Amino acid sequence: MLTLARATEVAQVLTEALPYIQRFSGRTIVVKYGGNAMTDEALKASFARDIVLMQTVGMRPIVVHGGGPQIGELLERLNIESKFIDGMRVTTEETMDVVEMVLGGLVNKEIVSLLNQAGGRAMGLTGKDGQFIRASQLKIERKTPELEAPEIIDIGHVGQVEAIDTRILTMLTENDVIPVVAPIGVGPNGESYNINADLVAGKLAEVLKAEKLMLLTNTAGVLNKEGQVVTGLVAEEVQALIGDGTISGGMLPKVGCALSAVNAGVNSAHIVDGRVPHSVLLEIFTDQGVGTQILRKRTG
């Protein structure tokens, strides 16, 4: 039997969710699941339940995943060296094969299976399917004091999003299927590109005019110099934190794509701790968000 106190508590939690269910019904919510938050079995199962719950109450979740650690692991087993420039993996043809196998195969199907196991209907795809993510090579520039013009560095099959064809995704979400997207794009000659998953998630949120963009990672959110979570950030504050080196590495594409998404009309963008069980649920269905919200401008 429920005690009265417990019953009141449960009822309170459930009614608190109602306005969010009403507000987000029929709306697209893009969730990026970071490779680093994907290590614990119990966490993976709780993530899958959250996504299926969202879909069951009428929202349209789309999952985009990373897989850095999983790619590194297979490369190591195959004795292929991992090299990074400015936080990006130098991707030779040989490395690209491994990236495609791990992201499009192993990791993608694992998430699909978790969602299906939780009672959802999930389908996995890479940007090559229906050529829905067109990409081009990402050129990185490096300024050196000796050279007048910045040096262009070729890091191989690392791509940037050129265009997204939303029809395939809408076809899935309109039929209550949860799309699970591996961040691989296709070039003009059918070649594969390895794209940072945050950038793919951000672009998808933009072109689909999503309600929310949620980037799950392995930190409590964006941390300040003192190591504390910043609950809200506007563009100028992000710039200052990048300028003094507080935001670096894998956090750079996250804040970048989150800002770009809110400026393009996505209602809210959040960097959330994927190590906390049910962090997606807490972010969507309660008054207290978790992690860092990236804001268009400061209100109130």
Q: Pick from 61, 68, 104, 156: which binds ligand ATP (CB under 6 A)? A: 68
Give 175-206 as a DSSP string: TT-EEEEE-EEE-TTS-EEE--HHHHHHHHHH
Instruction: Give the Cα-Cα-Cα angle 204, 209, 210 (nearest 5 degrees).
Output: 75
* Among Mg ion, ligand ATP, none, partner that 219 touches (CB below 5 to 8 angstroms by kind): ligand ATP
- Residue 67 in contact with ligand ATP, rule: CB under 6 A: yes
Residue 251 or 295: the one with the smaller Cβ distance to ligand ATP is 251
Residue 21 or 74: the one with the smaller Cβ distance to ligand ATP is 74
Q: Pick from 116, 170, 246, 267: which binds ligand ATP (CB under 6 A)? A: 246
Q: If you count DSSP H runs as helices and E runs as strands, how many of each does the chain have, helices first?
A: 10, 16
Interface mask toward ligand ATP for 200-239; x: CB under 6 A: -----------------xxx--xx----------------
Q: Pick from 127, 202, 250, 289: which binds Mg ion (CB under 5 A)? A: 250
Do residues 272 and 291 touch, judged by C-beta distance below 8 A?
Answer: yes
Alpha-carbon separation of residue 32 from 17, 243, 273, 279 (angstroms): 22, 25, 11, 12
Nearest distance, CB of residue 190 and ligand ATP, angstroms: 25
Nearest distance, CB of residue 174 and ligand ATP, angstroms: 27
Residue 223 or 282: the one with the smaller Cβ distance to ligand ATP is 223
Sign of CA dihedral 46, 50, 55, 61: negative
Give 241-274 as a DSSP string: HHHTTSS-TTHHHHHHHHHHHHHTT-SEEEEEET
- Residue 197 in contact with ligand ATP, rule: CB under 6 A: yes
- Residue 104 in contact with ligand ATP, rule: CB under 6 A: no
Q: Pick from 50, 53, 63, 66: which binds ligand ATP (CB under 6 A)? A: 66
Which candidate, 140, 164, 161, places its Cα nearest to that of 152? 140
Cβ–Cβ contacts within 10 Å for residue 273, how many? 19
Nearest distance, CB of residue 201 and Mg ion, angstroms: 10
Which candidate, 27, 32, 37, 89, places its Cα nearest to that of 258? 32
Q: Which residue is nearest to Mg ion (CB)?
A: 250
Residues that bind ligand ATP (CB under 6 A): 34-37, 66-68, 197-198, 217-219, 222-223, 246-251
